[in-house]
C-alpha cells in the first residue's frame, strides 16, 4: 500500500551512514512501543487503529446519519489538530471542491480556525436559511478561536430552532472529563465524543475529531480504520525493510548534513490539506529546543511556476519528500487537433495522468541534479484504506523521528507564548501585569 524510495538521497549522504543509524532507530521505535520515552503519556494513537472504542465508533456513524438526514450544512468548529485532519481527509478523499459537488451529503464549513470577521460572516451568509448542525471540537475546551466561533454559531442555531432541537443539532468532541466545552456539553446534554486523554490534538485524526466530519462527508470510516490497522501491523517491523525506518533515517541524515527544510510535494491538488496536516504534525512535534526540520509544502505542478526557481537554485538547505500516487484516479485524454496551432499534438491520445507522471519524473531528476535530495513516498491510490496507511505512516515516523532528534514529540510548549500576549492585549482577567509590559513595548 505504501513504500518509500530513498535512492535519491545517496548523492548527498553516505550509504554507510544509513546503516549506522540502525541502533538509534531501533532504540527510538522500541522506546515508543514500551512507553518509556519522552511524552509517554500521549501514546494513545500508537495502537488506536486496533484499540478504538467500538461503542463510540457506532455512535459516530449514527450521528453522521442523523446529520445527513436533517442538515444541509455541517459547521465544524476547531483549530490545529481539531481541524486539519478532517479537512485533509474530506479534500483528499472526496474533493477540494467538496461543497460544490452534486452530492447527497451536507456541505461542510470549517470555522473557528481564524479570528477573521469577514470569514465568519461569509459562512453565516453561505448557510443562509438552510438547516444546519454544529460539530464543535476542542480537546482543552478553552481555545480562543473555536470558543468564540461556538458562541456565535450556538446563538445562531438557538435562534433558528427551539431549544430541544437546537441541542440535538450540536455535537461536542472534547475531553472526557474537563474543560469549558465538556462542562457546557454536560449541562446542555449535547451528544458528546471523547478525545482520549492520551492522544494529543495533532495525533487525533483517527478519533471522533476526524471521524465524525468524515462520516458526514460520506467517507467510509470502517475502510479507513482498516487501512490504519494494516499499516500499524506492517510498520511494527524493526528493520530497514520498514518504510517508516527508511523515511526517518533519510530525513534525519539529511538534517545532520545541513538540509534543515523538508518540502512535502504532491502532484494532486487534493493533497493540499494533507500537507497542512503533515506540517502541523511535524512542526509542532519536532520544532523545539532550538532543533527540528522546518516542514514546508508545495503543490506541483502549480508551484513549479512559483517556488520552482528557488527549489532548483536557491539556498541548498532543502530536501523534498514527494508523494507519488501510483494509480491516480480519473482519466482525461488529450485529443488530437487538426490545426495543432498550440503544438500539442505530440500529446494526442495521452492521458493527463501520464503527463503528470512525466512532470514528476522530470522534476525529481532536475531537483536532484540541482542539489535537492528527494525521498519518494509511493501511495497506491486515493481511497480510505490508503488514507489510513499514510496517516499512520506519518504519525509513527513522527514519533520515532522526534526521539531520534532528542525532543519530546508530544508537547507544544511554544504555542502558549502568543496566547499570553493576545490575552494580555485583549484585557483578559489575570493578565494585567503582562498587559502593562506589552503596552509599553508597543508604544
Ligand atoms: O496539536 C495540538 O495540541 C494543537 O494543535 C491543538 O489541536 C490546537 O491548539 C487546538 O486545541 P484544542 O483542541 O484544545 O482546542
Residue 115 is predicted with a pLDDT of: 97
Nearest CA to 397 out of 20, 16, 28, 6 is that of 28
DSSP line for 196-239: -TT--GGG-TTSHHHHHHHHHTT--HHHHHHHHHHHHHHTT--S
CB contact at 8 A, 301 and 265: no
Atom of ligand 1 at shortest distance to CA of 179? 14
> pLDDT tens for residues 18-76?
999 999 999 999 999 999 999 999 999 999 999 999 999 999 999 999 999 999 999 99
Residue nearest to atom 8 of ligand 1 (CA): 80
Query: Please, are residues 249 and 21 in contact by the beta-carbon 8 Å criterion?
Result: yes
Which ligand 1 atom is the nearest neighbour of the CA of 200? Answer: 3
CA dihedral (30, 34, 35, 36) positive or negative: negative
- Output the CA angle 5-361-88, nearest 5 degrees: 70
Give the number of the atom of ligand 1 that is nearest the alpha carbon of residue 284: 1
Report the predicted TM-score, pTM, of the whole model to 2 decimal places: 0.97
pLDDT for the residue 417: 87
- Indicate if the alpha-carbon torsion angle 405, 406, 411, 415 is positive or negative: negative
Give catalytic status of residue 62 as yes or no.
no
Q: Which three cell numbers stand for residue 125?
A: 451568509
Q: pLDDT digit string (tens) for 295-348?
A: 999 999 999 999 999 999 999 999 999 999 999 999 999 999 999 999 999 999
Q: What is the pLDDT, as a whole number, of residue 419? A: 87
Q: Which of 62, 238, 326, 419 is catalytic?
A: 419
pLDDT band at 102 (very low <50, low <70, confident <90, very high): very high
Average pLDDT on 416-434 reads: 90
- Say if residue 271's pLDDT is above 90: yes
Q: Over the chain, what is the mean pLDDT?
A: 97
Nearest atom in ligand 1 to the alpha carbon of residue 140 is: 14
Catalytic residue among 91, 191, 262, 284: 284
Spacing, Cα 282 to ligand 1 middle (Å)? 14
The pLDDT assigned to 416 comes to 84
Query: Is 284 tagged catalytic?
Result: yes
Nearest CA residue ID for atom 3, ligand 1: 201
CA of 328 to the centre of ligand 1 (A): 32
Give the distance (Å) from ligand 1 centre to CA of residue 379: 28
Domains in the chain with CATH codes: 2-36+225-405 (3.40.50.10490), 48-219 (3.40.50.10490)
User: 247 C-alpha vs ligand 1 centroid, how far in Å?
Assistant: 26
Mutation to probe ligand 1, out of 76, 84, 136, 140 (largest number of atoms < 8 A from CB): 140
Strand partners, 191: 171
pLDDT score at 323:
98
pLDDT given at position 1: 85
Q: Would the CA dihedral through 359, 360, 361, 365 be positive or negative?
A: positive
C-alpha cell at 118: 469577514
Mean pLDDT of 262-269: 98
Q: What is the DSSP letter of 383?
A: S
Is the confidence at residue 265, as pLDDT, over 90? yes
Nearest atom within ligand 1 for CA of residue 146: 15
Name the DSSP class of 90.
Answer: I
157-202 confidence digits (pLDDT tens): 999 999 999 999 999 999 999 999 999 999 999 999 999 999 999 9
Q: Does residue 305 have an active-site annotation?
A: yes
Please report the atom of ligand 1 found closest to the CA of residue 143.
15
Radius of gyration of the chain (CA): 23
Among 201, 279, 280, residue to substitute to test ligand 1 (most atoms within 8 Å of Cβ): 201
What is the pLDDT at residue 18? 93
* Ligand 1 centroid to residue 201 C-alpha, Å: 5
Q: Cα(281) to centroid of ligand 1, in Å?
A: 11
- Ligand 1 mutation target, pool 143, 279, 283, 409, most atoms within 8 A of CB: 143
Residues framing ligand 1 (Cβ under 6 A): 79-82, 138-140, 143, 146, 200-202, 284, 412
410 CA → ligand 1 middle, Å = 12
Q: What is the pLDDT of residue 98?
A: 98
- 8: confidence class by pLDDT, cuts 50, 70, 90: very high
pLDDT at 301: 97
Amino acid at each position: 500500500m505504501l513504500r518509500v524510495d530513498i535512492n535519491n538521497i545517496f548523492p548527498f549522504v553516505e550509504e554507510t551512514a544509513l546503516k549506522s543509524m540502525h541502533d538509534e532507530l531501533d532504540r527510538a521505535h522500541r522506546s515508543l512501543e514500551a512507553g518509556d520515552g519522552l511524552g509517554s503519556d500521549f501514546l494513545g494513537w500508537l495502537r488506536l487503529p486496533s484499540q478504538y472504542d467500538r461503542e463510540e465508533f457506532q455512535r459516530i456513524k449514527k450521528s453522521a446519519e442523523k446529520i445527513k438526514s436533517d442538515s444541509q450544512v455541517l459547521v465544524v468548529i476547531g483549530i490545529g489538530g481539531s481541524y486539519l485532519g478532517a479537512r485533509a481527509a474530506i479534500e483528499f478523499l472526496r474533493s477540494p471542491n467538496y461543497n460544490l459537488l452534486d452530492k447527497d451529503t451536507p456541505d461542510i464549513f470549517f470555522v473557528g480556525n481564524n479570528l477573521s470577521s469577514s470569514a465568519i460572516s461569509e459562512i453565516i451568509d453561505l448557510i443562509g436559511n438552510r438547516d444546519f448542525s454544529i460539530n464543535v471540537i476542542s480537546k482543552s475546551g478553552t481555545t480562543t478561536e473555536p470558543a468564540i466561533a461556538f458562541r456565535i454559531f450556538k446563538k445562531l442555531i438557538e435562534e433558528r430552532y427551539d431549544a430541544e432541537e437546537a441541542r440535538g443539532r450540536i455535537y461536542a468532541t472534547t475531553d472526557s472529563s474537563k474543560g469549558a466545552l465538556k462542562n457546557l456539553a454536560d449541562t446542555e446534554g449535547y451528544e458528546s465524543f471523547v478525545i482520549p486523554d492520551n492522544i494529543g490534538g495533532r495525533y487525533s485524526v483517527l478519533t471522533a475529531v476526524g471521524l465524525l466530519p468524515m462520516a458526514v462527508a460520506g467517507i467510509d470510516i470502517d475502510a479507513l480504520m482498516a487501512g490504519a490497522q494494516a499499516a500499524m501491523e506492517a510498520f511494527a517491523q524493526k528493520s530497514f525493510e520498514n518504510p517508516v525506518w527508511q523515511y526517518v533515517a533519510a530525513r534525519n541524515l539529511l538534517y545532520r548534513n545541513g538540509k534543515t527544510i523538508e518540502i512535502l510535494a504532491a502532484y494532486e491538488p487534493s493533497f493540499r490539506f494533507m500537507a497542512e496536516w503533515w506540517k502541523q504534525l511535524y512542526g509542532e512535534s519536532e520544532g523545539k529546543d532550538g532543533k527540528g526540520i522546518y516542514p514546508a509544502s508545495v503543490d506541483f505542478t502549480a508551484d513549479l511556476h512559483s517556488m520552482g526557481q528557488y527549489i532548483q537554485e536557491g539556498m541548498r538547505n532543502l530536501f523534498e519528500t514527494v508523494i507519488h500516487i501510483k494509480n491516480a484516479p480519473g482519466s482525461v485524454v488529450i485529443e488530437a487537433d487538426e490545426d495543432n496551432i498550440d503544438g500539442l499534438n505530440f500529446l494526442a491520445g495521452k492521458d493527463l495522468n501520464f503527463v503528470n507522471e512525466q512532470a514528476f519524473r522530470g522534476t525529481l531528476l532536475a531537483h536532484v541534479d540541482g542539489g535537492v535530495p528527494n525521498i519518494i513516498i509511493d501511495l497506491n491510490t486515493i481511497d480510505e484504506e490508503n488514507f489510513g496507511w499514510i496517516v499512520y505512516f506519518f504519525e509513527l515516523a513522527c514519533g520515532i523521528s522526534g526521539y531520534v532528534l532528542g525532543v519530546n514529540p508530544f508537547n507544544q510548549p511554544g504555542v502558549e507564548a502568543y496566547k499570553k500576549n493576545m490575552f494580555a492585549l485583549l484585557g483578559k482577567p489575570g493578565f494585567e501585569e503582562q498587559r502593562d509590559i506589552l503596552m509599553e513595548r508597543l508604544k
